[in-house]
Amino acid sequence: NAGVTQTPKFQVLKTGQSMTLQCAQDMNHEYMSWYRQDPGMGLRLIHYSVGAGITDQGEVPNGYNVSRSTTEDFPLRLLSAAPSQTSVYFCASRPGGGLNIQYFGAGTRLSVL
Amino acid sequence: EDKVVQSPLSLVVHEGDTVTLNCSYEVTNFRSLLWYKQEKKAPTFLFMLTSSGIEKKSGRLSSILDKKELFSILNITATQTGDSAVYLCAIAGGTSYGKLTFGQGTILTVHP
């Protein structure tokens, strides 16, 4: 039962570098999301997808890009990393329909120096 | 804009105590309210509430929703050290996607 798998678990970047956080789910869920978690601020939605080929912005999308070419994968790209993007990133998925229960990956801890 | 406020932000108790965590919200087109428990890693689902006054229960944990007063509580009875975690409240509203808006979380620490 893999569920939602995120890689890497930890990453250190220098300002201006780019990288991709990977997220894969094996539950055939339609919906996938990316959140960031900062101290004292809960989880904030970055981008989400309601199916392959369909993505939209969440609450804090600036500096991040996403695409969804398959049902299983939903990578998050940082084009030019900034110290303000130091955070813990969580990917989540849920099935389509009325239930809003999202299932989370273990997270990626990112530090931008 | 949807909003979730949790209180208290942190709580320290001893094993055996009972705790009540609070969650108040503002939302357009309410769909559901969810509670998650977060230990070191991923948030794990506890409860989903959609109707007022109906208690959801799982072991020592229970939760109830008041849609008129726009709040929910999470109760934990006979706390154990394993209950130490961050408890997150989230609401789903708006479009059919049901995007989740999270509160800041309550950090619960249970001492032996």
pLDDT digits (tens, 9 = 90+) for A49-70: 999 999 999 989 999 999 999 9
- Indicate whether A83 pLDDT > 70: yes
Specify the higher pLDDT residue, B93 or A87.
A87
* Structure token digits, residue A50: 């309601």
- Indicate whether A72 pLDDT > 80: yes
Across the interface, of A35, A100, A105, the residue whose CB is closest to B32 is A100
- Coil, strand or helix at B81: helix
Q: Count contacts between A and B (CB, < 8 Å).
A: 54
Task: Calculate the alpha carbon distances from B89 to A21, B4, B64 in Å.
Answer: 26, 7, 12
Question: Which residue ranges of chain B lie beneath pLDDT 50?
Answer: none
- Indicate whether A80 pLDDT > 60: yes
Q: Considering only CA atoms, which of B25, B66, B46 is closest in space to residue B108?
A: B46
CB contact under 8 A, A106 and B98: no
CA atoms within 13 A on the CB side of B23: 30
Chain B residue with Cα closest to A43: B102
Question: Looking at the complex, does the CB of residue B108 fall below 8 Å from at least one CB of chain A?
Answer: no
* Structure token digits, residue B33: 């309210």
* C-beta separation of B76 from A76 below 8 A: no
CB contact under 8 A, A106 and B97: no
Contact list in B for residue A35 (CB cut-off 8 A) is 102
Going by DSSP bridges, is the β-strand pair A76-78/A19-25 parallel, antiparallel, or unpaired?
Answer: antiparallel
pLDDT digits (tens, 9 = 90+) for B53-67: 889 999 999 999 998
Contact list in B for residue A4 (CB cut-off 8 A) is 42
Q: pLDDT at position A100, please? A: 81
Contact list in A for residue B29 (CB cut-off 8 A) is none
Query: How far away is chain A from the Cα of B41, in angstroms, using its nearest Cα?
Result: 5
The CA-CA-CA angle for residues A107, B7, B56, to 5°, reads 75
Q: pLDDT at position B76, please? A: 98
Task: Calculate the alpha carbon distances from A1 to A25, A30, A58 in Å.
Answer: 10, 18, 29
Question: Looking at the complex, does the CB of residue B7 fall below 8 Å from at least one CB of chain A?
Answer: no
Q: pLDDT at position B95, please? A: 65
pLDDT digits (tens, 9 = 90+) for A18-47: 999 999 999 999 999 999 999 878 899 999
CB atoms within 10 A of CB A70: 10
pLDDT over 90 for what percent of chain A?
86
A33 Ramachandran zone, left/alpha/beta (phi>0; psi -120 to 50): beta
Q: pLDDT at position B97, please? A: 65
